[in-house]
Amino acid sequence: MGRRVTQRDIARMTGVSQATVSVVLNDRADSEIRIAPETRQRVLDAIRATGYVADVVGRRLADRSNRILGVFTYEPVFPSTTADFYHPFLVGIEQRAEQVGCDLLLFTSGPHRMRLADGCIVLGRFIGKEELARLVGEHHPFVSVGRRDSPDVPYVGADYGGATAALVAQAVALGHRRFAYVGTGGPAESHLDRLRGFADACLAAGVHATHQPRWTPQDDVTAIFLEEPADAAELITNLRDHGRDVPGDVSVVVLGEPTRAGATPPPLDVTRFRTPRSEMGRQAVDHLTELVNGAQGRQTLLACELVAGETLKTARSRRDT
């Protein structure tokens, strides 16, 4: 199935602006844009020829806004390459914004300018509680990409806790009984969720578990869960330098994708989960358009995809005791 035809496609085909296409589609007599009859007919002909179907969300949005959605990040994360961690989020946002006929405005100077847009999508691993309270108090529509510890903040997040717990369950089924979580475990919600999912799953399985900010040699640990995937290559090298084979002696599981550009690839295909980044961006646009149209904010968690990899194997019996 081909890509869905958008208003922008119709505009390119007919040599008019996207605003002109929107006026023709909505048949808005009160519009300040005056369209010549032959131009209107050319747009209508293109709509019929392509089988274009107006997006319902976008049509609702047309009556309430300027059709401009903002994007702001609390970190310097606008990507320069497709390998950047945030690139898929922005791709998803751009794709869905185009489908609903909205333009995007990228903010780089600060959230105080968000009112230039109808609403705003915010990204960042850690956003302070005071800042979130300020955004809520301003009553300007916004949606967070990433779960936030506030009942008043609408978001689209990833179920990091559930994915981490599922990987712990796989390791337990393979005979692992001594686990280590390596990473900060906070203060970002994404890290808190990973550590909480790890700790709860280990407690439920009755296995031994430790948490350390950075890996230190522990000969009795047979499964290491690494919070920051960018550190996987260094961890595997350190383990081998200490005489531990991966995955023969110790299994390594990484919790997501590298958040640092240019990270050294690990020597093995690591067992991990994949964050639905593009889909999170797309659904954030849908949540935001609902808010612009007066709906209540929603909080949504999307499942992560487990990736088998090569680094989670059956525990050796001598390590299980």
Query: Which residues lie across from 224 on neighbouring strands?
Result: 180, 252
Does some domain include residue 152? yes
- Residue 35's pLDDT is 82
CA torsion sign for 194, 200, 204, 207 is: positive
pLDDT at 31 over 60: no
- Asked if 191 and 246 sit in the same domain, the reply is yes
CA distance 34 to 40: 10
Taking only the tens place, the pLDDT of each residue in 78-110 is 555 555 788 899 999 999 998 888 889 888 766
CB-side neighbour CA atoms (13 Å) of 48 = 6
User: What does the pLDDT look like over 118-141, one tens digit per residue?
Assistant: 899 999 888 888 888 988 998 889
Whether a cis peptide bond, with omega within 30° of 0, leads into 229 is no
**Can you give the residue range of the structural domain that contains 283?**
68-158+276-303
Name the 3-class secondary structure at 223: strand
What is the rounded average pLDDT for all residues in the chain?
86
Residue 63 lies inside a defined structural domain of this protein: no
Q: Note whether 204 and 311 are same-domain residues.
A: yes
Tell me which residue of 284, 245, 318 sits closest to 147, measured CA to CA.
284
> How many percent of the chain have pLDDT more than 90?
54
Given a cut of 80, whether residue 34 has pLDDT beyond it is: no
Q: What is the pLDDT of residue 27?
A: 63
**Better-predicted residue by pLDDT, 13 or 306:** 306
Q: Per mean pLDDT, which range of 54-58, 100-104, 145-149 is the poorest? A: 54-58
Q: Are residues 168 and 268 in the same domain?
A: yes
User: How many structural domains comprise the chain?
Assistant: 3
Using CA atoms in the order 304, 307, 308, 309, what is the torsion angle rounded to 10 degrees?
-140
- Residue 59 within any structural domain of the chain: no
Residues 298 and 222 in one domain: no
Residue 149 confidence class, pLDDT cut points 50, 70, 90:
very high
On whether both 107 and 119 belong to a single domain, the answer is yes
Q: Is 127 among the domain residues?
A: yes
Is 229 contained in some domain?
A: yes
Does any domain span residue 60?
A: no
pLDDT of residue 111: 62
Q: What is the mean pLDDT of residues 149-177?
A: 97
Are residues 186 and 211 both part of a single domain? yes
CATH code for position 136: 3.40.50.2300
What's the CA gap between 214 and 238, in Å, rounded?
A: 12
168 and 249 co-located in one domain: yes
Range list of H helices, 157-276? 160-173, 189-205, 232-241
User: Are 25 and 173 found together in one domain?
Assistant: no
Higher pLDDT, 228 or 115: 228
